[in-house]
Structures are given as C-alpha cells and as structure tokens.
C-alpha cells in the first residue's frame, strides 16, 4: 500500500476536487429525481442514499488517492460545503424572504461535520482494498463537470417539456427571495422544475469555475488554458441567457409590466448548453494521458477522416438549432426530419469509417461504434418523441410520455454532439497523412 502511494504523481488537490464534486453531483441527481412531482420519495428513503453516497465518495478516496482517512474526510467536507447551495432551501423560514430558521446555526456546522465523518469512515474501509493506479485527475474532473452538465441539460429538457420556463417570474431571485433561500416547501409543480434547474445551473457554474482555475494552475499548455477560459466564459453567458429568457431585460422585478420573456433567447440558451457540454468533453479528452502520449498513425486518407468528422459536428449543431426551434416554437418539423436524415447518413459514414478503417486504433474504433449506436438510438427516440408530441397536441397539455421522450431525445442529441467532437479531436490527434 505504501509503495503504491509513494509512486503516485502529485495531484495538487485534483483528486479531492474530483471526488468531492463527483459525490455532490451524484447526491444532487438523487435529490432531483427523488423529489420530482409524482415521485416525492420520503426523507427516510433519500437520507440513507445521501449518506451512502458520502461513504462511497470517501471509500473511493481511500482506495484511489493514497491519502488514507484524511482523503475521505476532505471529500466529504467538500461535498457537504457544496451542498450548502441546497441546504438553504431546507432551512428557509418560509414566513418572509431571505429568512432562515434559528436552528440553522446548528444545521450548517452539523452538516459539514457529518459529511466529513461519513467520508472518513468510507475512506477507512476503502484503504483496506487493493490500491488503484494513479488517475489523470484533471481529465476525471472535467468528466465530472460534463456529467453535472448533462444532468442540467436533462433538467432543462424537463422544464421545456412541462412548459415551466416561466414558472418563476423573476431572476436572479425567486419570487423576491435569494434563490438559495427559497423554501423547498414552495417548490411544487412547475416552480420545482424551474427552480431546480436554476440550482443545478449554479452547481455547474461553480464546478466550471473551480475546474478552470485548477487547469490554469496545473496545465502548462496554452490550448488547455484557453479552452478552460472559453468554458468559464460560456457558462457565465449561459447563465445570463437563462435569466434573460425569463425577464427579457436586467431587472429583479416580479411585475409583468417590467419583464418581457424572450423565446429567441430560450432557443439560444438550449443550444449553447449542448455546445458547452462538448467543450467540457473536449477539455477532458485533452487532459488525458493518452492525449499527451499520442503517437499519430500514418494514414493516407487522414485528411478525409478529419473533414468528415468535422462535418458531422457542424451538421449536428445545425440539427440541434432546428430541434430547439421546433420545441419552443412548434415550427420546422419537416426541416428537422430532413436534417435528421443528413445527420444519420454523414454520421454513420464517419462512424463506419472510424470503426472499420482503424481497428488498430482502439480509441477511434470505439468512438465510431459509439457514434453509430447513438445515432440509431436517436432515430428511435425521435420517432417516439414525434408520437408523444402528437398525444400532447390531442390532450392539450404535456403528457408524461411527451416529457420523458422529448427530454431523452434532446439529451441524446447533446451526447451525439459530444461524441462527434471527440471523434474530430482524436482523428486530428491520432491520424497523420502520409508526407
């Protein structure tokens, strides 16, 4: 155990950041799906799950970081600190904006101590297991940020599907309250969907900020620093777009006379969120050891592979724009279907080429296979979503099938874009045309 620890590379805190944020994202995902209207899992179900995730995060720290129980303690403490973004909603007094119950003075330090305790307990158990080899923690952290973003995109899809984008009439406040102190008891129906989306957005923004600072401090490559800066700028713009989609202008007023909801911004907000996911995935790829150690394969048609994979990225973005227009404005169905055929043909060509031509390059072969599978799944989801939206049109209100299928369709589109970006990046990195 000690020998493994001695061989570990300096992590500069990347291991704690990665596992702490990963634990938090997992806890928020459980909380989000567990509290959805229609699910409303009781506290006695949710709390053991939350404690179990803290223990799991600590267990992974004990096995993967070489820090012993202290690693788990820091992971649990970080996760509990991040969870303060939600704890305020549980401690809000409810009898006035921005007021908390007196017991908050006990709950806040108590939650931090509890997180540290469960994390340390998990690490003690994890340290007894065979140690895992060192991770590329910057890449793992970027993947955690991408996972949080995918959860946020799914929550945004539910907001759109439930037509709840304007359920909370002001921004950045929520009905006059600080968004982090809006009482959980009032988060019902459409308000829950929209407010939860905002809270998840705050987590993604904070994760991106910490990731960017971490990469600026630890990665010497200018390309990574610039891309990390672009990710941070994009998430800030994305947050502002989401707010202005509700208010139409910079105002904290709840008076409809002072707000002007903007559907165009809603469309832009939806598409940039999917692009942002791909930026994080690109950061993750460029932070892997495989990227740094890559030795390009000499391939006569490397230029063709590069052009084809880049073309997939472009047409998928166009298709995402058309899909957003269709979802928000109910216009352009035939154009969206036509473009889907183009995406399927070009995407399958790129996937088949990566899978069939590069059996000796496992990363490209795997990405090609993944792209083909995702495209097939997306076609099925698109047909199912078309059927479900027909049911909604007949019922006059969103059906459960509509919300689930359209959200899955939208989220899969974002994953297809991310996979296409990965294929384009790795084609450029792993293939080189003959001189």
pLDDT at site 7: 46
pLDDT at site 397: 75
List of residues 6+ apart from 364 with CB closer than 8 A: 354, 358, 423, 426, 427, 430, 431
pLDDT at site 359: 86
Angle between helices 43-64 and 69-82 (to 10 degrees): 140
pLDDT at site 394: 63
**Measured CA distances, 144 to 36, 170, 178, 210, 265 (Å):** 23, 30, 27, 12, 27
Per-residue pLDDT in tens (0 to 9) along the chain, 435 residues = 444 444 455 578 999 999 999 999 999 999 999 999 888 899 999 999 999 999 999 999 999 998 999 999 999 999 999 999 999 988 887 777 788 888 888 999 999 999 999 999 999 999 988 777 778 999 999 999 999 999 999 999 999 999 899 999 999 999 889 999 999 888 888 999 999 999 999 999 999 999 999 999 999 999 999 999 999 999 999 999 999 999 998 888 888 778 888 999 999 999 999 999 999 999 999 999 999 988 888 787 889 999 999 999 999 999 999 999 999 998 999 999 999 999 999 999 999 999 988 888 999 999 999 999 999 999 999 999 998 887 666 666 778 888 999 999 999 999 999 999 999 999 999 988 776
**Measured CA distances, 186 to 93, 175, 196, 253, 393 (Å):** 11, 10, 12, 19, 29
pLDDT at site 133: 72
Q: What is the dihedral of CA 65, 69, 70, 74, to 10 degrees?
A: 80
pLDDT at site 401: 85
pTM of structure: 0.93
Q: Is residue 286 a contact partner of residue 223, using CB atoms and an 8 Å limit?
A: yes
Give Cα 137 distance to the centre of its chain.
18
Q: Where are the domains of the chain?
A: 1-134, 136-292, 294-435
Give the residue from 116, 92, 125 showing the smallest Cα distance to 23: 116
pLDDT at site 6: 40
Neighbouring C-beta atoms of residue 82, cutoff 10 Å: 23
């Amino acid at each position: 155990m000690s020998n493994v620890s001695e061989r570990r590379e300096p992590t500069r805190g990347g291991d704690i950041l990665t596992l702490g944020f990963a634990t938090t994202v997992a806890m928020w995902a459980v909380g989000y799906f567990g509290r959805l209207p229609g699910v409303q899992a009781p506290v006695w179900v949710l709390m053991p799950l939350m404690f179990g995730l803290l223990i799991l995060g600590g267990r992974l720290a004990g096995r993967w970081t070489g820090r012993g129980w202290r690693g788990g303690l820091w992971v649990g403490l970080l996760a509990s600190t991040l969870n303060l973004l939600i704890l305020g909603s549980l401690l809000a007094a409810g009898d006035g904006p921005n007021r908390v119950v007196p017991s908050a003075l006990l709950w806040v330090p108590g939650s931090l101590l509890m997180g540290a305790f469960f994390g340390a307990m998990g690490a003690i158990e994890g340290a007894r297991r065979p140690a895992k080899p060192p991770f590329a923690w910057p890449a793992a952290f970027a993947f955690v940020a991408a996972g949080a973003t995918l959860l946020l995109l799914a929550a945004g899809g539910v907001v759109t599907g439930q037509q709840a984008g304007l359920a909370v009439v002001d921004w950045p406040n929520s009905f006059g309250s600080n968004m982090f102190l809006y009482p959980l008891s009032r988060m019902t129906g459409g308000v829950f969907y929209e407010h939860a989306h905002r809270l998840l957005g705050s987590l993604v923004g904070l994760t991106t900020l910490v990731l960017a600072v971490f990469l600026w401090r630890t990665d010497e490559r200018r390309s990574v620093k610039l891309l990390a800066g672009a990710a941070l700028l994009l998430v800030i713009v994305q947050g502002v777009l989401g707010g202005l989609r509700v208010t139409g202008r910079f105002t904290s007023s709840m008076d409809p006379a002072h707000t002007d909801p903007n559907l165009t911004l809603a469309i832009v907000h939806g598409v940039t969120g999917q692009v942002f996911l791909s930026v994080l995935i690109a950061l993750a790829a460029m932070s892997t050891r495989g990227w740094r150690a890559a030795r390009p394969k000499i391939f006569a048609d490397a230029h063709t592979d590069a052009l084809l994979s880049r073309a997939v990225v472009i047409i998928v973005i166009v298709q995402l724009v058309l899909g957003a227009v269709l979802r928000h404005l109910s216009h352009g169905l035939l154009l969206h279907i036509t473009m889907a055929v183009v995406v399927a043909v070009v995407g399958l060509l790129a996937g088949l080429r990566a899978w069939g031509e590069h059996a000796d390059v496992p990363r490209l072969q795997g990405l090609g296979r993944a792209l083909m599978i995702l495209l097939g799944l997306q076609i099925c989801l698109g047909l199912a979503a078309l059927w479900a939206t027909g049911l909604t049109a007949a019922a006059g209100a969103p059906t459960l099938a509509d919300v689930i299928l359209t959200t899955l369709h939208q989220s899969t589109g974002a994953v297809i874009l991310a996979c296409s970006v990965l294929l384009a990046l790795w084609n450029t990195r792993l293939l080189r045309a003959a001189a």
